[in-house]
A and B are shown apart, each in its own frame.
Chain A
């Protein structure tokens, strides 16, 4: 992997930016946004910004946060990223109860459905597990260390997810692969039994989620990819059930006649609690694509595009609670050298998905948002964000994503040249 990174020498600090992320508490008690090393939480019960408390070894994050997630019961929150630590927070006190060191940068996190285990993936393809057994919600956990759970050989893991029944842990990578592994009774001894591989994507896999209903409690996996499709899978066999060309639709809308030569990567997706809808964010699309999901026929279809009018907003991350029916979107980026700190983010919300609600889903205006200016000030960094900032952000995120995840195709000559350059460097050392 070191070699891979050197070979892909474009790993340039300037373009190595991290997208803004958003996560919503399962019953919408709070919402969290991560931009760069900043973790921002707004609490709806107190209607106030949360001040995080971190008395663990190294307080707060020191480099870009790459993954955030609430536990299924909402009592825990996990954040992790380029500073090679995983922080576990109590959402009651918003105290950091534990900082777990990682050997490498962290690219994805997940919690087991019973909140007993935190899993995280590093950029070398190893998934680690930390047990929280015995944690009662208050005390700090000291000297927690992670044990290796499984590995994708030298690939960047982009997403981790537990199946709704908790039996499987799903890991996706830049090598187009989705692996379904039985989550064992003793995870600290490793997860050795592979249930299936879901193979069909032709570019990096960027995001995973499950759709499930009371009729289909085990649910089906949905994945988004750099190949601009969203796919539906049966994880027990690894069979591909349906493929939806979301990028093509987004491209049609976006290009407005001008030629876009590359297809648009899916950046994030978010399934709705009732298992019938999936919101999809793609590079360059100012809005989201809504897919409807029919589990009885195992099909996906595009139902509509929700465009964001009046402002060039391209979401970098999506989030939803399991109850409130609001889709949260954020756009933003860790560091943009042309703009001042602190890193800015822009938050928008779509409402009106309920079948009972009159009319179409609509993007709420800032003054319609629960929490109002206080919320925006906390999560965005300021009440109003200049449009050019987040357009630049979306562009930077797109470049960073393709630098990180898309495989370079070098000509033979260029490859030879790069090899020689590498040897030269070795000799000098």
Chain B
């Protein structure tokens, strides 16, 4: 009886939302037309709803703060949650196409904020198609990190244009990233890993990080451990393929 009165979508022990109530179709088609609101331009996004604590602050620096990290296709949000405490003063957002998954991440963040007062105030999520609407959310050069962790592989040749990394889409990511900003990609599908690397390698506005730089970047370690997908791959002992590149000025 008591059980029924409690919110069944939240776990009793942790107070966090339970994933099984937010199961969704494995894939959403990023090409089909959207049925969710799209902000007309970045200045039409009300970030005070996403980061109430940061925005309510009377501190001038805080209220003019902009989102700097974007996790594209964030899935269940594991990376955001790890990054949140690692970079407590940086605003970050997950972008996710699937409605139910987005709802789950929202609930998860709210629950974490309640359970850990003062923490997890810097992360949020929006439901959107990142392939179409990145410029509606971010101004030129606004981002310093973009993440593409375990994106859908779209094996068939005719579906390659649905891949979230492509030469044309990299043009938009290069627009949203400031010079020096970093794009992180990882996959357990070798073919997709080769594809993402090839796209980045041939793009005039990106250059690979050196081994030493990768070693020194604390975020790189999270790529293969922080997200739900990476944990699944690790459990199954799967190989991963990463490509980490920096946004540079194109040669004139």
Contact = CB atoms under 8 A, between A and B. Distances in A.
A197 B135 CA distance: 7
B136 interface: yes
Contacts of A8: 33
Nearest to A238: B140
A428 B203 CA distance: 43
Nearest to A415: B35
A199 B250 contact: no
A192 B132 contact: no
A154 B132 contact: yes
B214 to A, nearest CB: 24
Contacts of A181: 171
B171 A4 contact: no
Interface string B32-71: 1101000011100000000000000000000000000000
B40 A153 contact: no
A194 B132 contact: no
A420 interface: no
B172 interface: yes
Contacts of B35: 410, 415
Contact of B31 (A3, A126, A415): A3
Contacts of B146: none
Given A192-B250, A199-B40, A200-B40, A4 B32 contact: yes
Nearest to B176: A194
Contact of B132 (A153, A179, A201, A415): A153
B135 A192 contact: no
Nearest to A189: B204
B205 interface: yes
A175 B250 CA distance: 28
Nearest to B135: A197
Contacts of B172: 194
A200 B41 contact: yes
A153 B169 contact: yes
Nearest to A151: B168
B171 A150 contact: yes
A176 interface: yes
Contacts of B9: none
A348 B135 CA distance: 41
Interface string B142-155: 00000000000000
Contacts of B174: 192-194
A155 B168 CA distance: 13
Given A153-B168, A177-B135, A192 B32 contact: no
B175 interface: yes
Contact of A192 (B40, B131, B136, B171): B171
Contacts of A4: 31-33
A150 B167 CA distance: 9
Interface string B161-181: 100000111111011000000
Contact of B175 (A155, A194, A199): A194
B250 A3 contact: no
Given A175-B132, A200-B41, A192 B31 contact: no
Interface in B5-45: 29, 31-33, 35, 40-42
B205 to A, nearest CB: 6
A255 interface: no
A137 B36 CA distance: 51
B33 A408 contact: yes
Nearest to A408: B33
Contacts of A177: 135
Contacts of A197: 41, 135, 175
Interface string A410-429: 10000100000000000000
A407 interface: yes
A190 B167 contact: yes
B123 to A, nearest CB: 25
Contacts of A151: 168, 171
A201 B40 CA distance: 7
A1 interface: yes
Nearest to A175: B132
B37 to A, nearest CB: 12
B33 A192 contact: no
A154 B131 contact: yes
A117 B135 CA distance: 27
A196 interface: yes
B203 A3 contact: no
A377 interface: no
A202 interface: yes
A408 B35 CA distance: 9
Given A150-B171, A192-B171, A192-B250, A199 B31 contact: no
Contacts of A193: 171, 174, 205, 250
Contacts of A63: none
Nearest to A176: B40
A366 interface: no
Nearest to B43: A199
B32 A153 contact: no
A120 B197 CA distance: 29
Nearest to A185: B252
Nearest to A126: B168
A408 B170 CA distance: 29
B31 A1 contact: yes
Given A4-B31, A151-B171, A193-B250, 17 more contacts: A7-B32, A153-B131, A154-B161, A155-B132, A176-B40, A192-B203, A192-B250, A193-B171, A194-B172, A194-B174, A197-B175, A199-B40, A199-B41, A199-B135, A200-B41, A407-B33, A410-B35
29 contacts: A3-B31, A3-B32, A8-B33, A154-B131, A175-B132, A177-B135, A181-B171, A189-B204, A190-B167, A192-B170, A192-B174, A192-B203, A192-B205, A193-B171, A193-B250, A194-B140, A194-B171, A194-B174, A194-B175, A197-B41, A197-B135, A197-B175, A199-B42, A199-B136, A200-B40, A200-B41, A202-B40, A407-B33, A408-B33
Closest 9 CB pairs of A and B: A199-B41, A151-B168, A194-B175, A197-B135, A153-B131, A192-B171, A3-B32, A154-B31, A3-B31
Interface of B: 29, 31-33, 35, 40-42, 131-132, 135-136, 140, 161, 167-172, 174-175, 203-205, 250
